[in-house]
Amino acid sequence: MGKPTGFLEYKRETSEAVKPKTRIQNFNEFHTPLTEEEQRTQGARCMACGVPFCQSGAMVGGMVSGCPLHNLVPEWNDFVYLGNWEQAYYRLHRTNSFPEFTSRVCPALCEAACTCGLHGDPVSVKENEHAIIEKAYEEGWAAAKPPRVRTGKKVAVIGSGPSGLAAADQLNKRGHSVTVYERSDRIGGLLMYGIPNMKLEKHIVDRKVKIMEAEGVEFVTDANVGENVDAAKLMEEYDRVILACGSSNPRDIKAPGRDAKGIYFAVDFLKATTKSLLDSDLKDGKFISAKGKNVVIIGGGDTGNDCVGTCIRHGCKSVIQLEMMPKAPDQRAENNPWPEWPKICKTDYGQEEAIALFGHDPRIYQTTVKEFVKDKKGNLKKLVTVKLESKKDPATGRFVMSEIEGSEETIPAELVLIAAGFLGSQDYVTKAFGVEVNERTNVKTAPGEYRTNVKNVFTAGDMHRGQSLVVWAIREGREAARAVDYDLMGFTNLQPQ
């Protein structure tokens, strides 16, 4: 359980971040890890609670509390404290296919549910996880381990994001022959092109992909199933197919002037930057540049923050982030008790950088765009914004955000990035396979299951559950793999979640 009195003796420490004005000079990850001894001290803080909410993944107050993967957090925290890094890795990898990804990009649901956080600071679970997996690579414990026996069964996975990779990894370990089809030029999906380099450097993704290849997984890039790859042929060639194509339809903003030049979806902006960065270190100019521009980002989530950080690295003139909802409280409200996810205001790395560079938080709350204003050539030149307030809709009885009359303001903008979330799967894929979708355009299955209405076709990840976290995508991929394995073999020995 770590050191019995560790949570009383030691303070929480995390890796030090490079100062904002320094780190914005490049697209590299910017945290300096703790020393091995310092990390062991952090492992000592784990209390091994009678009820470890950190690994529960249970619904509390309508929100998930703890890790959806049910990571064995107290166990590997104890191994970290004892310096038994190899056993820590094996316990971590038992439930999590990709700790190298989650330890970098997960919002740490485990820490929000840590009992130490009830009256103090939670255990630095995410940092311990990062230390374990990097130590495993350094020592060779994470090296390729191909299956000794093959079953003769073939599975196609469509999409190489976290859910597709997790499903492929598990099914390959079981001995099935797995081929992953990816429509982009690089493997990784969301991990490769949806998350900026400063959060997840792409050699980390490539490192794991190479291991999976050495273990026998086949990857096919530039394979857009439903367009240049025939879905019917895949269903003939493979015993089972898993659709893991993500939630790829960006939510749009409907306002006059939407056709102005200079308005882009955030996902296209981020992908173009990362691809150009990987191809040429941005020298090819094949990206949407924010240099010297007044930028407005519509959307206040993680993607919006990533756009803030990316625009600053481009050299933008200014950056503003519009959020429709009110600012969350700085401390937990009484109706949001532990171990619920804390609904508090979070200032992320991009916002920190904007504050350091421009002297103020880029976020403007309870505000949306009323009009995009163009110049004579059709280029965006400014926005008309309007303030919002919460009002009860007499027709539905629900509270909605409504415009405040007379609150319009005009702000300069040559570049607008829409980061308002995603609406579901893309229909050219679902129609190609003939699978049913629900009212949210997610692929339809029975509750808690992964089998679609089409024989031998399964689904997982955001395409199945809607836009969510990487950790949920990994869980979905692992569970879909278990369902496929059972369907193929009549039983399964894959680890349940």
495 lies in some domain: no
- Which pLDDT value is given to residue 364? 97
H-helix or E-strand spanning residue 219: strand 218-220
- Answer with the one of 77, 112, 139 that is the final residue of a domain: 139
350 contact partners, CB below 8 Å, separation of at least 6: 305, 306, 307, 308, 309, 310, 312, 362
Helix (H) or strand (E) holding 356: helix 349-358
For 210, residues 6+ apart whose C-beta sits below 8 A from its C-beta are none
Question: What per-residue confidence (pLDDT) applies to 346?
Answer: 95
> From first to last of its 497 residues, what are the pLDDT tens digits of the chain?
678 899 999 999 999 999 999 999 999 999 999 999 999 999 999 988 888 999 999 999 888 999 999 999 999 999 999 999 999 999 999 999 999 999 999 999 999 999 999 989 999 999 999 999 999 999 999 999 999 999 999 999 999 999 999 999 999 999 999 999 999 999 999 999 999 999 999 999 999 999 999 999 999 999 999 999 999 999 999 999 999 999 989 999 999 999 999 999 999 999 999 999 999 999 999 999 999 999 999 998 999 999 999 999 999 999 999 999 999 999 999 999 999 999 999 999 999 999 999 999 999 999 999 999 999 999 999 999 999 999 988 888 888 999 999 999 999 999 999 999 998 899 999 999 999 999 999 999 999 999 999 999 999 999 999 999 999 999 999 999 999 999 999 999 998 87
Q: Is residue 146 part of a domain?
A: no
This prediction has a pTM of 0.96
* 384, 331: one domain: yes
Please tell me the total count of domains within the chain.
3
Give the CATH number of the domain where residue 83 resides.
1.10.1060.10
pLDDT of residue 248: 87
- 52 & 187 share domain: no
Residue 449 is assigned to a structural domain of this protein: yes
Same domain flag for 412 and 428: no
437 and 412 both lie in a single domain: no
pLDDT of residue 1: 65
| 235 and 116 part of one domain | no
Q: Looking at residue 190, what DSSP letter applies?
A: I
Residue 362 lies in a domain: yes
Tell me whether residue 256 is in a domain: no
Query: Distance between CA atoms of 287 and 95, rounded to whole angstroms?
Result: 38
Distance separating alpha carbons of residues 456 and 153, to the nearest angstrom? 12
Q: Is 317 left (phi over 0), alpha (psi -120 to 50) or beta?
A: alpha
Query: Does one domain contain both 344 and 451?
Result: no
Residue 435 in domain: yes
Listed in sequence order, the DSSP H helices in 83-186 are: 85-95, 99-105, 109-112, 125-139, 162-174
Domain extent for 277:
263-418
Instruction: Please report whether residue 401 resides in a domain.
Output: yes
Strands, sheet with 177-181, edge to edge from the N-terminal-most edge strand = 218-220, 177-181, 154-158, 240-243, 457-459
Residues 408 and 446 in one domain: no
Q: Which of 208, 36, 202 is nearest to 135 (CA)?
A: 36
- Per the DSSP assignment, residues forming a β-bridge with 366 are none
Q: Which of 402, 418, 434 is the last residue of a domain?
A: 418
Examine the domain organization and report whether 207 and 304 are in the same domain: no
